Structure 1
Amino acid sequence: MRALPTLRQLRYLVTVAETLHFGQAAEQCHVTQSTLSAGIADLEALLGVVLLERKSRRKVLLTPLGEDLVRRARSILADAEALADAAQAGTHPLAGDLRLGVIPTIGPYALPRALPAVRRAYPDLRLYLREEQTARILDDLAAGRLDCGVLALPFEIGDLEIMPLWQEDVVVALPTTHPLAKGSARLTNDDLSKVELLLLEDGHCLRGHALQACRLDGREDNEAFQATSLNTLVQMVANGLGVTLLPRSAVPVEVAAGLGVAVREVEGADAARTAALVWRPGSPRARDFRLLGEVLRSAAPVGTVTV
């Protein structure tokens, strides 16, 4: 029978490709560097090709053929994991390991409330969380590095399966000393056209969702300052540097009493976004993901509407 690469050898190859460093790859694979190097050498000997270009004792580059085989190895490893997942899911729903990605404008406001509920419902589930922007989560799903993700729609996500969880609108956060903070009336588009608007940097889908919901598409924000987190935006508002738009779920967490930040609703604003659980089509764990989605939906953040 023809000798074939082992899954361990393919895992070594993929990890080296991701780190381009033997030492870091060995650490991630929980083996010694000599063991990993020997595994790669055995794989090259078995296939009769050179996969890596050794730049030094530790650093490497992939050969063109190596890059092609790494893509194939990722697919094989993902299929092997799917096989094991399918067997496990048939006997123990939502048990074992599950890698969940979540965007940073949902994670801090949904997970602290949802994770205890998940743990109570499925104590045998080991949930590994990764907080990333939407584009990175989509890449990791496609590469098999994540099993499912919580994203905000609308967003172009290709053919992924979708389970809507909840909807929410956006509100305006402004300094309590701002003239528009007086009273409790809803703010209009005309009001918002006159303020210094602080938003998240490009790459955060909330930026577009918030502007569209408030019918401010094309509105220019303060290009001199674009934040990477909602917490930073709120702190800038508290110090009188501008006004921002927040998802309603963020208000109980980010806008503390005495901070000097007022919250106002927007007249005629649409629902800004729909939080949804997404996963690869045809996944053998689709039943597990739907069970997880049911728990996430039942523990939706305060201020949202389940769908």
Structure 2
Amino acid sequence: MTDRISLRQLDYFVVAAQTGTMTGAARQLFVSQAAVSLGIAELERQLGVQLLLRSKSKGLTLTEAGRVLLPQARTLLARTDELQAGLRDVGQTPAGDLLVGCFTTIAPFLLPGLLEEFQRAHPRVRVDFVEGSLVDLQHQLLDGRCEVAVLYGVDIQPGIAHEVLYATEPHVLLPRDHALARRSTVRLRDLADQDMIMLDVPPSMRYFTEVLVGAGVSPRVRHRTRSFEMVRSLVARGFGYSLLIQRPALDYSYEGREVTVRPISDEVVPLPVVLARPAGATPTRRAAAFAAFCHDCVARDPGLG
């Protein structure tokens, strides 16, 4: 009979790859280091390949075979968790752990409300989240760490499937006493001789630059920052204008200084917000439930974006 690998061996391997050391994996799994080492060694023997390179100075490093196995092992373990949870209710109710990724600047505006309502609708799903850049989130999807992620629909890597949730458009952020703040809308060409505060986060920076250049404006960037709130604070202090997509409920900086938000009168190409997942993989019941819930929320609240 074929010597089959076990779920425990896969669990040891996944956690060891995640923590980077046998000691860290043993601590997280509440087992001895010897148990983890032996389990992974046996897994490598059964598969006939080396999965991890061991180094006292660098810890554990995935081999090519290890990189291939890791996302598949994560998916298999997630399926097993769902199977166990689902059988408690004849498999009809979404259940188990769901890790949702979200682009950093979108997260505080969208995620808290989604999580609250989704948990109310699906109490047996334990949802956690991770924030990150487009590159980080797509890597986590491909590695099997995240099942779904909310991000901007640009620079999507091969192997990632995505569905548009809604489209967003930028607005102009101005100091309260700026001359353009007296207008109801702002033409982009009127910003040509103004200093700009650039949100230096991909893909926002490139998108805002393309919006301005498309209107014949070469942005005169005075300051760059990766902080959304730093942009608003600098604008509130009169250092320049900015283009942003997300808008807090109150038009005040962290310092309590007022900023003015004005729509752009030019026609601007919208930036889509999408729900992404690994292509070719059948979503778990909980991931499918979350996707359906997101689309339902957007349908109920078209102004969500």
TM-score, normalised via structure 2 length: 0.81
Larger RCO: 1 or 2 (CA < 8 Å, sep 6+): 1
The within-5 A match list for 1:170-189 is 170-181=170-181, 183-189=182-188
Q: Provide closer, same or farther for how the CA distance between residues 303 and 2 of structure 1 changes in structure 2, counting only shifts above 3 A.
A: closer
Q: Provide closer, same or farther for how the CA distance between residues 286 and 269 of structure 1 changes in structure 2, counting only shifts above 3 A.
A: farther
1:303 CA drift (Å): 9.3
> Partner amino acid for 1:250?
R
The within-5 A match list for 1:55-94 is 55-56=55-56, 59-62=58-61, 67-81=63-77, 83-84=79-80, 87=83, 88=86, 91-94=91-94
Looking at structure 1, the residues matched to 250 and 94 of structure 2 have their Cα atoms a distance apart, in angstroms, of: 29
| 1:144 lines up with 2:144 in the alignment | yes
Q: Provide closer, same or farther for how the CA distance between residues 209 and 50 of structure 1 changes in structure 2, counting only shifts above 3 A.
A: closer
The within-5 A match list for 1:202-241 is 202=201, 204-214=202-212, 215=214, 219-220=218-219, 222=221, 225-241=223-239
- CA deviation digits over 1:101-158, x for unaligned, max 9? 0001211101122222112211111111010111111111111111011111244343
Give the corresponding residue for 2:247: 250
> Unaligned regions of 5+ residues in structure 1, if any?
none
Aligned 8 A contact 1:137 1:149 in 2 = yes
The within-5 A match list for 1:1-40 is 1-40=1-40
Looking at structure 2, the residues matched to 9 and 150 of structure 1 have their Cα atoms a distance apart, in angstroms, of: 32
Aligned 8 A contact 2:194 2:240 in 1 = yes
Aligned 8 A contact 1:169 1:213 in 2 = no
| 1:98 lines up with 2:98 in the alignment | yes
Q: After alignment, is 262-271 or 124-133 more displaced?
A: 262-271
Q: After alignment, is 227-236 or 13-22 more displaced?
A: 13-22
TM-score, normalised via structure 1 length: 0.81
Q: Provide closer, same or farther for how the CA distance between residues 306 and 291 of structure 1 changes in structure 2, counting only shifts above 3 A.
A: farther
Q: Provide closer, same or farther for how the CA distance between residues 54 and 160 of structure 1 changes in structure 2, counting only shifts above 3 A.
A: closer
Q: After alignment, is 137-146 or 187-196 more displaced?
A: 187-196
> Partner amino acid for 1:235?
S
Looking at structure 2, the residues matched to 254 and 36 of structure 1 have their Cα atoms a distance apart, in angstroms, of: 53
> Unaligned regions of 5+ residues in structure 2, if any?
none
Looking at structure 1, the residues matched to 297 and 251 of structure 2 have their Cα atoms a distance apart, in angstroms, of: 19
The within-5 A match list for 1:41-52 is 41-44=41-44, 52=52
